[in-house]
Amino acid sequence: MMIEWKKSYPGVWNGTVGTPELTLTGVSGKRPSDRLNQLPETACPEHKIQFDTMGKYTVLRMELDHEERVFGGGLLFKQVITENQVYHLRVDHYAGVDSGRTHAPVPFVVTSNGIGIFCNTPEQVDLYIRTAHRKEDKAKICEHDRAGDKDWSCYNAPYYIEIAVASPNVEFILFSGENLKDCVARFNLYCGGGFIPPKWGLGLWHRTNMTMDENDVQSVVEEYKKHHFPLSVIGLEPGWQSGSYPCTYDWSARFPNAERMIRNFLKDGVRVNLWENPCISEKSSVYEKLYPYSGSHLQWCGIVPDYNIPEVRNILKEHHRKSHFSIGVSGYKLDESDGYDKWLCPDHAEFPSGINGFVFRNLCGLLFQRITFEIYRENNQRTYGLTRSTNGGSVGFPYIIYNDRYDFKEFVTGLCSCGFTGTLWCPEVRGAQTAQEWVRRFQLLAISPMLLLNAWANDATPWMFPEVENTIREIVQLRESLQPYFYTAFAKYHFEGIPPYRSLFMDYGMFLAENRQHSGDLDDTANPYQEVQSSDIKDQFMFGDCLMAAPLEPGENSRKVIFPPGKWFDFHTGKQIVENGGVIELTCDDLSPMPLFAPDGAVIPVKENGALHVRKFGNLPGKFMLYDDDGETFDYESGKYSWKEIEA
């Protein structure tokens, strides 16, 4: 099958099979950023791509160079480099295995050579990454005798990606960048460019126990004042509603003076964020209006409105605007849009717009973000919130992915991999067995997209371990001091498409010699098929242009840290750590600060005692472009912002 690639922007080409009616970018309503037109031209790699129709599948096949590595395939929690993997993409609660069932199954893959492919569809997408060998390519395949070849592997030299879409109507977007990061930036810009959160969103968040009433919530806020913690957002869990699981979206009698409470919080600089899920109770004031537009199956015993219908979006927007936004609510958290299969509508469910349960599931989180975002956008106020699911095209929506798992390693790997998805991932603090674990979890949150303590099912507070209360306060203060740096990273996300959280490979390329593929060691239990392995870096990440994080796990006091080429310095002390990259064994005390490192020439703005200071590392000349705007509105879209060059 031949396909015509049509150039839409420098380094971006569209190719269409059939007549697709529904696309992820179309559902999001976001237009490509004008910034794309300012980027340099790159060559179209169409010669590497072939198409086939195989049964119900449209199959795209892209040739890979021998040492070309692949990234993406949705939000991952076990790895960053996707070697010899098969992903069946669908929105789902992550269950501990990178299989494609994830909170953000974004159908985008990108290679270390700067080539990216985005399947702009909510239909079923299967990714066969360096696993699919065809018989017509037998000349490229070498058979080996497993019993006699000590270097035997179940994989031959992988040379293709195959992407199978279960539809005859698909839009593919092809990206070509000057390098890996440039290609990812073009993808983000094509999806509208990243969001800039309100400045208050970068502060400390606390989500209250779901059983709390108005007085209880006010007491939590007062406790933060007493302990001198600068609370920025208070999140209300299901109990704020008159009914939840299914939801009403109406205020409960437990909050008789909700507007007065919210207005008083705002005077103290504290915002209110509301929890919701997409299933609606018959007790809801919008139930009758939405019933004709709901799907065939119930969820949590409530109807599920078809967000794909404009009338549904208008009904929900009007209700949220009148009942929540008008009294001062600053944002939302959408839960239960991912769920395990037994909790959600089945794939064969029918929705009035003509989509099935599988497609609705892939679009639910994306459309909820659009509904609520537009309320604030239309009123020139920024918002910031949380969602349990999203998909391609969501890069411009100010929502962060979260889930119910609590594995520290997964939290860190998610921060490494999210940069390849056009989404951002947020760990959260919920509990700890020891004071040291409490400190380590707060340290990771302090450099994450959102500093969130989620006490929805307990009474956790930052000071729950009194012996480390001051340490936790210092961690929160570190985040406050880095606010100008964080804010600038988000501005580059918006204006340039560069993700604020990203893998080291995005900035430094495949700098490890060990990244070359090698056969794994045979083990009759752990690795019975001698699966091919490659060195990955999944426990360190860049945030912004100048800081590398190497988090220490709870219970550990040492770890290996990998440094890219060049001199690197300890952010906290300024001490030089390595001369020209390499690997060191780092040892820390229980309460040592999070290991943060800056490269030679780094210039980092920090806020201390209300004044802006600059930290300069190493001897190389360096500069930092510091961004600022009003922090509240969308006036930056009309040019009301500043970039100031700091040079040292």
SS3 annotation, 245-277:
CCECCCECCCCCCHHHHHHHHHHCCCEEEEEEC
Q: What whole-number distance in Å separates Cα of residue 81 and Cα of residue 69? A: 7
Q: What whole-number distance in Å separates Cα of residue 497 and Cα of residue 191? A: 9
Confidence of residue 342 (pLDDT cuts 50, 70, 90): confident
**pLDDT (mean) for 433-444:** 98
**pLDDT (mean) for 129-150:** 80
364 neighbors 105 (Cβ within 8 angstroms): no
Tokens standing for residue 336: 């239960």
Tokens standing for residue 181: 């990061």
Question: Is residue 520's pLDDT more than 90?
Answer: no
User: What pLDDT, in 10s, does the model give residues 308-335?
Assistant: 999 999 999 999 999 999 999 999 999 9
pLDDT at residue 506 in the model:
97
How much is the mean pLDDT over the chain? 94
Q: What whole-number distance in Å separates Cα of residue 63 and Cα of residue 53? A: 18
Question: Is residue 73's pLDDT more than 90?
Answer: yes
User: What pLDDT, in 10s, does the model give residues 351-406?
Assistant: 999 999 999 999 999 999 999 999 999 999 999 999 999 999 999 999 999 999 99
Say if strands 331-334 and 271-276 run parallel, antiparallel, or are unpaired.
parallel
User: Per DSSP, which regions of 490-550 are E strands?
Assistant: 501-502, 541-543, 547-549
167 neighbors 121 (Cβ within 8 angstroms): yes
Q: For residue 502, what are the β-bridge partners?
A: 542
Percent of the chain with pLDDT over 90: 89
User: What pLDDT, in 10s, does the model give residues 591-644?
Assistant: 999 999 999 999 999 999 989 999 999 999 999 999 999 999 999 999 999 999
* Element (DSSP H or E) covering residue 224: helix 214-226
Which range among 124-133, 135-144, 525-534 shows the weakest confidence by mean pLDDT? 525-534
User: What pLDDT, in 10s, does the model give residues 575-600?
Assistant: 999 999 999 999 999 999 999 999 99
pLDDT at residue 1 in the model:
75
Percent of the chain with pLDDT over 70: 96
Q: How far apart are the first and last CA of the chain?
A: 56
Q: What is the pTM of this model?
A: 0.95
* Domains of the chain listed by start with CATH number: 501-647 (2.60.40.1180)
Q: What whole-number distance in Å separates Cα of residue 362 and Cα of residue 75? A: 14
Quick check: helix, strand or coil at residue 511?
A: coil
Question: Is residue 157's pLDDT more than 80?
Answer: no
User: What pLDDT, in 10s, does the model give residues 98-127?
Assistant: 999 999 999 999 999 999 999 999 999 999
Confidence of residue 70 (pLDDT cuts 50, 70, 90): very high
User: What pLDDT, in 10s, does the model give residues 468-485?
Assistant: 999 999 999 999 999 999
User: What pLDDT, in 10s, does the model give residues 213-233?
Assistant: 999 999 999 999 999 999 999
pLDDT at residue 513 in the model:
64
**pLDDT (mean) for 425-454:** 97
User: What pLDDT, in 10s, does the model give residues 237-269?
Assistant: 999 999 999 999 999 999 999 999 999 999 999
Say if strands 582-587 and 558-563 run parallel, antiparallel, or are unpaired.
antiparallel
pLDDT at residue 533 in the model:
46
pLDDT at residue 84 in the model:
85
pLDDT at residue 560 in the model:
96
pLDDT at residue 39 in the model:
98
One-character DSSP codes across 585-624: EEE--TTPPP-EEEETT-EEEEEETTEEEEEE-SSS--EE
User: What pLDDT, in 10s, does the model give residues 124-139?
Assistant: 999 999 887 788 887 7
pLDDT at residue 519 in the model:
47
